[in-house]
Amino acid sequence: MSAATLRRLTTIIAVVLGSFVAAGALIALSGANPLVGLQGFVEGIVASPYRFGELLVGAVPIGIVALTLIPALRAGIFSIGAEGQVAIGALASGAVMLSLGDGVPAPVHWLLGALAGALGGAICALLPAFLLERWGVNEILSTLLLNYIAAGFLAFSLRTYLGTEENVATPQSDPLPESAELPALIPQTRAHVGVLLVIVIAVAFAWWRRTASATRIAVFAERPAFARRLGVSRARTIYRTMLVSGLGAGLVGYLQLAGLNSRLYTSVTGGVGFSGIAVALLGALLPAGIVVSALLFSALTVGAAGIQSATGSIPSSIADVIKAVILLGIAGAMGATSRREARRAAQLPREDPEPPDGRPDASAGENAAIGQLGERGTS
Amino acid sequence: MNSALWIAIAAGAIALATPLIIAGLGETLVERAGRLNLGIEGMMAMGAFVGIWAASAVGPWMGLLAALAAGVVMAAAMNLAVYRFGANEVVVGLAMTILGLGLSTYLYLMWIPAGEVNRSVETLPTVSLGPLADVPVLGPVLFQHDIMVYLLVPLVLGFWALMRHTTVGLRIHAVGTDPESARLRGVRVERVGRGTLLAGGAMAGLAGGVITAGSIGSFTPDITAGRGYIVLAVVIMGRLSPLGVTGGSLLFALFQSFALLGQGLGLGLPSEVYTTLPYVVTLVVLVLSSRALVRARLAPMRA
Amino acid sequence: MVASHQETDHVALAAWSVSKSFGAVQALTKVGIDVQPGRVHALVGENGAGKSTLAKILAGIQPADSGQLLLNDREVEISGRAHAKSLGINMVPQQLSLVHDLSLVDNLLLASPRLRARRSDARAALSRTLDSAGVQVDIDAPTGRLGLAHRQLGEIVVALAEGARLLILDEPTASLGPHEVGGLFAHLRALCAQGTAILLITHRVDEVLTVADDVTVLSHGHQVFTGPTEGLDANRIAHLMVGELPEAIARAPRERGDAVLTLTEVDAVSDVDSDLQQVSLEVRRGEIVGVAGVAGSGQNLLAEVAVGIAPTQAGEVVRAGSTASDASGALAAGVAWIPDHRADAVVPGMSVGENLTVYAASVDPAPRARVRTRFSGRRAQAVAAQAAVLTEYDVRPHDPTLAAGNLSGGNQQKLLVARELDAAWSAESPASLVVANGPTQGMDLRASQAIRARLVTAAERGAGVLVASHDLDELLDIADRVVVLVGGRIADDIPADEATAARIGRAMSGLARAGANS
């Protein structure tokens, strides 16, 4: 492990600990005992195999969404449409599995369900890609608006053609065929095969990072004109990277449906799309970083329920506060690191006292890729 | 046709547009200066809670002031992270949204624990503008609102004049389009950036306060319901101009108002069509305006 | 803010014994200068000699560590840029400081302390200045739409309207063509006649002799000469600047090989440059073809067509036997590219080493044979080999792990040259065609000479070289023939033994015989 990696790790651990201290202070200010809160947090995660399974299962959707967002974010395309893509993915796979019915063997259900989910998400991602490529429609905004439209379409479907005929309060589908449900991977938990899938996808992206395609996308993000010399076309980059994120989010829709819920509800996305983006950024677009961040976010969600029941007064939304503080802390620490590097560069001996060209905080590697996002803003 | 319903829809649109316009004016400055506040949603949520909380103690006007202050504090934190530590502003904005939504919910539940009855407070008074309010159709649509709605007129004109006729507006424009040259011409780029974000935060916080302390009179978690994001869309749609933002907000709000009330028209459409329509229309307008922009840009410069 | 032109307004600025250091680097050591009203004072030296540092001290942008400034013979402390402006001292930076989206009027208002933007006042002030300086520039158009020469003049006009009586111009001619330079100098002389003092920073010796009354030469932060230009010649000034002159490039006859670039009746369109019309051109292995033309005559477009960045409307382009029409096809055919904006081809967020190896790292295996990295092996070895290349090309600091965006502009240019002429290609198959557009723009004498020598070496190794430049001396120095573009057509094609600055200049202004290339 190099000194730089070590320093990075220490910073990250310091930020996480710091946010816990801040959360403790918030709990104390709210009139509860922070130590009881901490105990509740830990127990919320490890009290039973089921709780621990919840940690894993919660990390799956945000992990997959975040991992498959790597190419798009690396290219400087800031899609926040995962939420809608998850919804459409779940809808498509639900429709397929329900229409296949009980008579079909489980593997066929798994395969076709997953395929339908991924395709649904992909279609939902290609529309904003087309709008961006063709007319320069800002992808942040188009994907955002499509999230609402997708949610409306899901609700409509569950109230009409996909809705159950049972008398229920909220729109929902009939239960999935039993053979369609994903079996638990670990007994006594809800942890399903998605847990393994995260690892597979993470390894795949770790490999991809070293390919020519990843370098081309990194060049495209910073110097689109120069990227043409490397054979990069803007259109192809937009379509491909958005397609990958759509496939991933659609697959997540399938996993949430077949792995966790026996019926399709309007709440199937549960905010995993937005969390996925935060996790991708928190993990600095590095596969390993994303897996760790996804586990951290999931642990906070699961543990916060423990805090709430242990203290009896602290709302579980404290999890969101901690997540935000960690995200802020890491963003600040990464920014400070690249500034330090720029300053180090400026102090290296050179004869001409010309200042560096370009932005002072430009820096190599992942930080720069993220730094890139802000610059485009809403051009 | 049911004209009373249409009047109610139009009047409702103006009320619904108010927070969008307020936050949109602030974000216009921010984006003119070449920055992006992705934290609007969180700032509005905090403004909404702080507004109602302060209003319950000291009345609606102080509530709005407190909401504004909440937005400023969050914007100052964002400035600190971006300028002092060099953090990426998109990431920080996202974090601010998560923070604002989470913290407002947390504080609300500490104030009114789950299971207890929500608190309602007195809102801004509705002012009927004398004889104008009695004009048929226009009266109820335009002249029977709370004071904040009337204050929009000077506010929008003020922002328009600021951008068009002051050196501050010129500086903001210069920093947004050509920061390097602006710096060489003696403009303090960082100060302009910090200042616009503070203004944007103030307006976002105020907008949140207007939703609760201004018109509804109570808070519920996630009361902003994505309106902070809609503000971003409306700002782009309105091409970063105060008048355009006002128009865009009114358009979105009109369809939203139609969604709330129009189901009574008996058009036989599924309810999801009504709720989704504002977003569809916004997307269509966004596409049309982007397309026009691209074409305008390509016309003199085919590169 | 309005300049009136009375004798009492005159500003004379002198500096005595000024020193300045940045960290361990001593940028200026006890330097003096005396800028007088009605005179053009040239400040010359290599990059890093301290010219810009001295100028920034005079303009109030940086404080000196020690030394004193005298304004009209009275000692003065300049506390900042705004203070300098109020004293009538204004600097036009090299990269120009007009905000592209704003008109000259709005640019003038930008620094105004008033809240209200009084456009009519500003317009009146600018018109008065335009009249008295005898300049015509559109003051209501966004400055980004003005041509480079007009932007340069606009910059000066805004400075004058802000009340400048002493103008510091930092390399104002760096990107102007010879005609535009002549026009600018005429305006400078006219301003001097009205009593304006001008400090002209340049590294071009010929400009000193053309326009300056006095000259101060800096070398490594020391003042090595100051005095009137009368009686000085080019060699003497150059010698003062760089000590021993870099060796002149030897013109050895080179073997001509097959054509590596053939353009046949090519048409191409651009909105920032003249459209190319019926351009036919051939570059052979071992040949250096220069491209001259007034700015905007199509040389940028020609270079982009040659490397496949710009599409063609008609005609045929063959590079090293390949008709692949896109830029990546050209790369695979071994085409090196030095664009006129180095920022276009250096990736600031990647490390210097990654920039050197970006082709090998980003091109899929099939065409990679040609752009195979020479930095294989263990990481430490690769880094050492990259550092060696950086040292060879004088890229400072020579640390391959540094982000390229942290390098200064000149060093980014050297990095670009190192990659395109060297690091990008495997040793067995070097670049087949080198397309260089203004490869020495903004570089000092020594660095420019080094880059020219590299281009010659590339030709000796068998590459065809197409080099466009505003610096005619550069073309005369290395080109085997010079094609002259006028309005997107080839107006003349002059072999080296017939090429003179006068002949090329005549052709550039459209006076050459037509159809010379047929």
What's the pLDDT tens digit per position in C443-466?
A: 877 888 899 999 999 999 899 999
Q: Would you call A230 an interface residue with chain C, using a CB distance cutoff of 8 Å?
A: yes
**Which residue among C337, C350, C408 places its CB closest to the CB of A364?**
C350
- At residue C256, the pLDDT reads 87
Q: Is C102 on the interface with B (CB under 8 A)?
A: yes
B163, closest residue in chain C (CA to CA):
C117
> Cβ contact (<8 Å) for A131 and B290?
yes
What pLDDT score was predicted for residue C366?
54
Whether B36 and A338 lie within 8 Å, measured CB to CB: no
In this structure, are residues A79 and A147 in contact, taking their beta carbons and an 8 Å threshold? no
Q: Where is C265: in which H helix or E strand?
A: strand C259-268
Q: Which amino acid is at C218?
A: L
CATH, residue A169: 1.10.3470
* Interface test mutation site (partner A, options B28, B37, B91, B112, max chain A beta carbons within 10 A): B91
Maximum Cα interatomic distance, chain C, rounded to a whole number of Å: 73
Token code pair at residue C172: 């104002």
Q: How many CB atoms lie within 10 A of CB A94?
A: 31
A137/B290 Cβ within 8 A = yes
- Residue (of B104, B59, B109) closest to B213 by Cα position: B59
- CB-based contact B181 C98, cutoff 8 Å: yes
Burial class (CB in 10 A: 0-12, 13-18, 19+), B278: buried
> Burial level of A187, CB count in 10 A (0-12/13-18/19+)?
exposed
pLDDT range class, residue B128, cuts 50, 70, 90: confident
B105 with A159: Cβ contact below 8 A: no
What pLDDT is stored for residue B209 in this prediction? 96
**End-to-end CA gap in chain B:** 52
What pLDDT does C369 receive? 52
Using the Cβ of C96 and the Cβ atoms of chain B, whether some distance falls under 8 Å is answered with yes
Q: Which domain holds residue A122?
A: 34-332+361-373
- Return the domain boundaries, chain B: 3-298
Cβ distance C270 to B174 less than 8 Å, yes or no, reads no
Spatial separation of the C-alpha atoms in residues A66 and B176, rounded to whole Å: 31
- The structural domain count of chain A equals 1
Q: Is the pLDDT of residue C518 over 60?
A: no
Q: Could A219 and C407 be called an inter-chain contact, meaning their C-beta atoms sit closer than 8 Å?
A: no
Q: What phi and psi, each to the nearest 5 degrees, are found at residue C483?
A: -95, 140
pLDDT > 70 fraction of chain B, expressed in percent and rounded: 97
Which CATH number is associated with domain C7-242?
Answer: 3.40.50.300
* More confident position, C220 or C494: C494
Chain C residues lying within 8 Å of B178, measured CB to CB:
99-101
Q: Quick check: B99 pLDDT over 80?
A: yes
Q: Has residue C250 got a pLDDT over 70?
A: no
Q: Is the CB of C405 less than 8 angstroms away from the CB of A356?
A: yes
Q: Quick one: which of B249, B205, B255, B220 has its CA closest to B75? A: B205
8-state DSSP, C111: T
Classify each residue of C293-305 as buried b or exposed e, where b means 16 or more C-beta atoms within 10 Å of its C-beta. bbbbbbbbbbbbb
Confidence of residue A16 (pLDDT cuts 50, 70, 90): very high
CB contact under 8 A, A331 and B98: no
Instruction: Write out chain B residues lying below 8 Å of A324, CB-based.
Output: 95-96, 98-99, 102-103
Position A367 pLDDT exceeds 50: no
When CB atoms are compared, the residue of B98, B270, B283 closest to A323 is B98
Q: For residue C496, what is the DSSP state? A: G
Supply the pLDDT for residue C3: 42
Task: Give pLDDT, residue A340.
Answer: 83
CATH of domain C259-334+431-508: 3.40.50.300
CB contact under 8 A, B232 and A334: no
pLDDT in tens, C214-240: 999 998 889 999 999 988 888 888 888
> Would you place residue A379 in the very low, low, confident or very high pLDDT band (cuts 50, 70, 90)?
very low
pLDDT over threshold 60, residue B247: yes
CATH topology agreement for domains C7-242 and C259-334+431-508: yes
Q: What is the pLDDT of residues A59-77, one digit of tens each?
A: 999 999 999 999 999 999 9
Q: What share of chain A is helix, strand, coil (3-state, %, to 5)?
A: 70, 0, 25
Please give the pLDDT value at position A362: 32
Which DSSP letter does residue C80 get?
A: S
Q: What is the C-alpha to C-alpha distance for residues B271 and A291, in angstroms, rounded to an integer?
A: 40
What does the pLDDT average to over B152-166? 96
Neighbours of chain C (3+ CB pairs under 8 A): A, B
Sorted by where each begins, the domain ranges of chain C are: 7-242, 259-334+431-508
Facing C101 at nearest CB: one of B173, B185, B303: B173
B3-298 under CATH 2.60.40, yes or no = no
What confidence score (pLDDT) does residue C373 get?
58
In B225-264, the residues whose Cβ lies within 8 Å of chain A are 226, 229, 232-233, 235-236
Q: In this complex, do C101 and B180 lie within 8 Å of one another by their Cβ atoms?
A: no
Q: Given pLDDT bands bounded at 50, 70 and 90, which one contains residue C511? A: low
Query: Residue C242 — very low, low, confident or very high, per pLDDT cuts 50/70/90?
Result: confident
Would you place residue C365 in the very low, low, confident or very high pLDDT band (cuts 50, 70, 90)? Answer: low
Residue to substitute from C1, C95, C97, interface B, most B β-carbons within 10 A? C97
Mean pLDDT of B224-251: 93
Confirm or reject contact between C106 and chain B (CB < 8 A). Answer: yes
Residues 6+ apart with CB under 8 A from B11: B140, B141, B142, B144, B145
Partner residue opposite B187 with nearest CB, options C95, C101, C110: C110
Q: What ipTM, to 2 d.p.?
A: 0.90
Contact C117 B166 (CB under 8 A): yes
Q: Mean per-residue pLDDT for B78-104?
A: 94
Among B97-106, C126-135, C384-393, the least confident range: C126-135
Across the range B211-219, mean pLDDT stands at 92
Return the pLDDT at C378.
Answer: 73
The pLDDT of residue C478: 92
Q: Which residue of A has its CA nearest to C54?
A: A353
The segment with the largest mean pLDDT, out of A127-136, C25-34, C363-372, is A127-136
Q: What pLDDT does residue A246 have?
A: 98
pLDDT of C5: 41
- Residue to substitute from B32, B173, B185, B188, interface C, most C β-carbons within 10 A: B185
Q: What is the pLDDT of residues C409-429, one digit of tens each?
A: 888 999 999 999 988 888 778
CB within 8 Å of chain C, chain B residues 168-187: 168-171, 173-174, 177-178, 180-182, 184-187
Split at pLDDT 50, 70, 90, the class of A353 is: very low
The pLDDT of B215-222, averaged and rounded, is 91
Return the pLDDT at C371: 58
Chain B residues touching C117 at Cβ < 8 A:
165-167, 169-170
Q: What is the mean pLDDT of chain A?
A: 88
Given a cut of 80, whether residue C170 has pLDDT beyond it is yes
Does residue A125 carry a pLDDT above 50? yes
| Number of Cβ atoms within 10 Å of the Cβ of A100 | 19
| Among the listed residues C9, C143, C176, C164, the one whose alpha carbon sits nearest the alpha carbon of residue C91 | C164
